[in-house]
């Protein structure tokens, strides 16, 4: 992706880190959540949910899209622990954005201190205060700090002795007692001097620091009855009795530094969740259990897909044979589709002279995310953090005419970025990863068609995996930017027109674009309703200027082309992690590392089984023979390893030269000749079906 030469690059590169590698939203999530997740709207069975989606792909009407998502979830649960999406009445879980009441409840439970940004939030408010009050009743020497809400609850930091799970149970019981007392929430306005006087009387040093950061007056205080008070912007529900104590749970405790600075005091962070009803809490707990069951790190180990080898270094992914074959299928499909869509494939080096990264702006503005330079024969070289400069060098190798455009180049390019060891997380945040990167060089009047082409390509590629629901944001010109008003207007209009041509709903993020151009960001929704940032399309007016790339127009004048950056999967590692969790490791037939396992009833059928396996392999089917156990155990083993198809072979099958087929998803299919089995597998693979 693009580099820059001015301060706004910092936001751009932060965007790239979140989008194209493996970082998560800056928010912190309770234990049990998968990092890399942008937001959550649950899609689960009774006591489970699906929240309203921000946008959906128009190519898949809501009913069809729901069917696709439900099928993916049902498939992922076919090992007997099914999701059961769509099986019974659903419990719809509200979000902080959709439910004013929920925000008030959570804030009241959590005890938000009066942070300046809270004044712009209409509601998030009582579980917070109740929890802080309970903590200070049980631990009188504890000091209250701050804690923001998160998508599914809250956390709060306290300066106090280390807490245990047993302490959390005590705190929850005290919270229940406070809730049952139905104490009123009373708002009071005081002067800054009065607030300071009261805080000093309580000996709360963190509150004094918070007070210093509050610029608005008067200062607001919320009282829980006459027993406890806190600085807060509010608002709250009217009394503690408005909270359903059965819909509140304290989840975990962890260490955290004050203000996130490791030179500051270590605090105790309590994570909690709060909902409007007990059913919603049960749905949320079910979601957490399901998310844990789908954790790509556990499944990667259980299914022998990948590993992180500490002997080699943290954040470096080893693709095992079964994971590598899935990657091969992904890459092969990606390349074929891109060639069909008019892209030229590139392979470029993993290192380059440091000077290249000076021109691109990375050395000045991205150095903290780059590895140390290497001295090669008295010249400094740098591992690449991005692919853009390489593609520009390929463009610059010769003079281009306006007749050459558009020029589309694509590469599965491996990049390296420095990450602190504490931030590494499975496949979602690593130090080396492969981007499905592409760049389009075009004329101004070609921008709309090229953007539309990228959106069509995005839909085609993501649709292969059953992703039908998208959340789309269009980010426009920020205050600081490069490029003329005219080209910004044309580029932004082209992005809008392309989205509207597709019939896709989108939200406009005014001023949220990169300094070098407007962009479209797309999040996909998985089988659990979680949203993952994957695809991006970005118009760039800056790098063509920095690298002085030109073309010759119809008047033989040198002009600057438009450069479009785009990625669809984001990175293979992160996308693979998303797929593992989306399918719960139960990959559809076309992706499965082993598509068919041939099972002899006894070793007498082994020779025939080996002949069948060889024939299937010669035709491109990923097949293997397993024997040495009784047939029921062989079938159970295949189910455990999530093999889509099993071919059982006994004496009758050998004599008739047939196979008895069992599908993981459809059960017994029947007996058929080998050629028929092969034909049906081929058809299922071509249709991206889960089974025959």
Tell me which residues are annotated as active site.
388, 417, 435, 437, 439, 519, 565
Nearest of 314, 347, 324 to residue 572 by alpha carbon: 324
Nearest of 381, 412, 562 to residue 483 by alpha carbon: 562
CB 343 within 8 A of CB 457: no
CB atoms within 10 A of CB 313: 11
CB 444 within 8 A of CB 562: yes
CA dist., res. 217 & res. 189, Å (int): 9
CA dist., res. 282 & res. 292, Å (int): 15
Quick one: tokens of 219?
């200062």
Give the number of C-alpha atoms closer than 13 A to the C-alpha of residue 387, restricted to the C-beta side: 27
Q: Name the strand (E) or helix (H) holding 18.
A: helix 9-20
- For 88, counting Cβ atoms within 10 Å of its Cβ (0-12 exposed, 13-18 middle, 19+ buried), the class is exposed
CA dist., res. 433 & res. 416, Å (int): 7
Q: Name the strand (E) or helix (H) holding 581.
A: helix 572-583
CA dist., res. 488 & res. 8, Å (int): 16
For 541-637, list the strands marked E by DSSP. 551-552, 558-559, 562-567, 596-600, 623-625
CB 205 within 8 A of CB 192: no
Q: Following DSSP, what letter does each residue of 72-127 receive, concatenated?
A: HHHHHTTTS----TTSSPPPPPP-TTT-HHHHHHHHHHHT----GGGGG-S---SH
Residues 6+ apart with CB under 8 A from 616: 596, 623, 674, 678, 681
Phi-psi domain of 600 (left: phi exceeds 0; alpha: psi -120 through 50; beta: other)? beta
């Amino acid at each position: 992706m693009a580099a820059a030469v001015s301060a706004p690059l910092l936001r751009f590169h932060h965007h790239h880190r979140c989008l194209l590698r493996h970082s998560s939203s800056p928010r912190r999530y309770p234990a049990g959540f998968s990092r890399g997740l942008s937001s959550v709207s649950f899609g689960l069975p009774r006591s489970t949910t699906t929240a309203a989606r921000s946008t959906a792909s128009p190519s898949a009407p809501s009913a069809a899209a729901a069917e696709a998502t439900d099928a993916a979830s049902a498939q992922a649960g076919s090992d007997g622990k099914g999701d059961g999406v769509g099986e019974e009445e659903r419990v719809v879980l509200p979000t902080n954005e959709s439910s004013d009441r929920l925000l008030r409840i959570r804030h009241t439970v959590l005890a938000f201190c009066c942070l300046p940004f809270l004044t712009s939030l209409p509601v998030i408010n009582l579980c917070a205060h109740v929890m802080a009050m309970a903590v200070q009743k049980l631990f009188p020497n504890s000091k209250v700090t701050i804690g923001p809400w998160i998508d599914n609850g809250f956390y709060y930091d306290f300066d106090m002795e280390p807490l245990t799970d047993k302490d959390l149970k005590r705190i929850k019981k005290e919270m229940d007692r406070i809730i049952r007392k139905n104490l009123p929430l009373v708002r009071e306005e005081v002067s800054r001097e009065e607030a300071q006087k009261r805080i000093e009387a309580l000996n709360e040093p963190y509150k004094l620091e918070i007070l210093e950061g509050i610029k608005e007056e008067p200062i607001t205080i919320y009282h829980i009855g006459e027993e406890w008070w806190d600085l807060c912007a509010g608002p709250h529900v009217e009394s503690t009795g408005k909270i359903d104590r059965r819909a509140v749970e304290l989840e975990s405790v962890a260490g955290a530094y004050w203000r996130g600075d490791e030179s500051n005091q270590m605090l105790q962070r309590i994570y909690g969740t709060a909902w409007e009803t007990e059913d919603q809490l049960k749905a949320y707990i079910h979601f957490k259990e399901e998310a844990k069951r789908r954790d790509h790190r556990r499944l990667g180990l259980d299914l022998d897909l990948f590993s992180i080898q500490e002997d080699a270094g943290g954040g470096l992914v080893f693709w095992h044979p079964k994971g590598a074959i899935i990657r091969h299928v992904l890459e092969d499909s990606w390349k074929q589709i891109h060639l069909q869509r008019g892209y030229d494939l590139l392979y470029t080096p993993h290192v380059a002279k440091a000077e290249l990264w000076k021109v691109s702006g990375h050395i000045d503005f991205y150095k903290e995310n780059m590895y140390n330079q290497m001295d090669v024969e008295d010249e400094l070289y740098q591992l690449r953090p991005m692919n853009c400069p390489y593609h520009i060098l390929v463009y610059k190798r010769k003079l281009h005419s306006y007749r050459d455009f558009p020029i589309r180049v694509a590469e599965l390019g491996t990049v390296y970025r420095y990450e602190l060891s504490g931030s590494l997380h499975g496949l979602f945040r690593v130090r080396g990863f492969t981007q499905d990167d592409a760049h389009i060089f075009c004329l101004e009047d070609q921008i709309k068609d090229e953007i539309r082409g990228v959106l069509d390509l995005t839909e085609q590629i993501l649709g292969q995996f059953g992703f039908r629901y998208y959340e789309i944001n269009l980010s426009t010109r920020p205050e600081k930017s490069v490029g003329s008003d005219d080209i910004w207007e044309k580029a932004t209009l082209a992005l809008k027109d392309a989205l509207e041509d597709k019939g896709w709903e989108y939200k406009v993020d005014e001023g949220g674009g990169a300094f070098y151009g407007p962009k479209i960001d797309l999040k996909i929704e998985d089988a659990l309703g979680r949203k993952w940032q994957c695809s991006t399309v970005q118009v760039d007016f800056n790098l063509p200027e920095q690298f002085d790339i030109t073309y010759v127009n119809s008047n033989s004048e040198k002009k600057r082309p438009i450069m479009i950056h785009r990625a669809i999967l984001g990175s293979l590692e992160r996308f693979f992690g998303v797929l593992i969790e989306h399918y719960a490791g139960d990959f559809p037939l076309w992706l499965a590392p082993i598509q068919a396992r041939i099972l002899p009833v006894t070793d007498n059928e082994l020779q025939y089984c080996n002949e069948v396996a060889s024939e299937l392999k010669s035709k491109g089917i990923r097949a293997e023979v397993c024997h040495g156990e009784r047939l029921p155990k062989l079938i159970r083993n295949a189910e455990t390893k999530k093999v889509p198809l099993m071919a059982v072979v006994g004496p009758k099958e050998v004599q008739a030269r047939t196979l008895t087929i069992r599908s993981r998803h459809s059960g017994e299919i029947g007996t058929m000749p080998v050629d028929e089995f092969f034909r049906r597998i081929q058809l299922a693979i071509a249709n991206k079906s889960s089974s025959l």
